[in-house]
Amino acid sequence: MWCRTVMALVRDGAGRPAHVTAMLEDISARKQAEAELVHQTLHDPLTELPNRQRFLDRLEETRALRLAGGSGLGVVFMDLDGFKEVNDSLGHHAGDELLIAVARRLRAAVRPTDILARFAGDEFLVLADDLRSLDDLTQLAERLMACLDRPFPIAARRLRVTASIGVAHSADAQDPAEDMLRKADAAMYLAKQRGRNRVEVFGQLQSEHAAA
């Protein structure tokens, strides 16, 4: 319960303080409305996951903490393969159901300390903190892919969906938040180009370009 207190000093006939009156007002409804507004601003209305802005805020906060010393962090950028075909063939309602079901599975696959967000459309992000090495990040990405293996019961059908995943790792948290997001996005597009349903690492992408 939230209360607002209004107090007033009452003086006697000689102008001396006599007593204080207080009025309590229940402002719980207003506080709840304010909290809901903040939640709506920072969360995706369909999946209830944090949205892009909230993800970037958390990424920058985590990066600032890691700059002071500690383990690395990483970004996983996931794009569902063939989602447009689901929307086109079964309709947007079925597409929304699929996104909600995918979000539920991803929540179960990430670690308690990871931040799962919906970037836009059929794209999801994961902020992975407290990483000992790049292997920790790629193992997380593989686990996310594996959680999609089972079919999704949507619109009286059993839909199968895969994902193209790009990851970007920062061992010392020096990369700005937007740069890490851009790198993971670039690696995800490479995964699309190489046949989908796979994981690509941005650092490996750089090495291949340098060798070309």
Tokens 């349903």 belong to 197
Active site residues: 122
Residue ranges, CATH 3.30.70.270, the chain: 48-211
The three-state secondary structure class of 77 is strand
Grade residue 23 by pLDDT with cuts at 50, 70 and 90. confident
The pTM of the full predicted model, rounded to 2 decimals, is: 0.80
Topology of domain 48-211 in CATH is Alpha-Beta Plaits (3.30.70)
Q: Per-residue pLDDT tens for 79-95?
A: 999 999 999 999 999 99
Query: Are 93 and 101 in contact, with CB atoms under 8 Å apart?
Result: no
Of 26-40, 57-71, 79-93, 170-184, the range with the lowest mean pLDDT is: 26-40
Q: Per-residue pLDDT tens for 186-195?
A: 999 999 999 9
Which positions ≥6 away from 154 have C-beta within 8 Å? 86, 90, 94, 97, 98, 101
Tokens 């229940």 belong to 26
Amino acid at 194: R
> Which token pair is 91?
């309709």
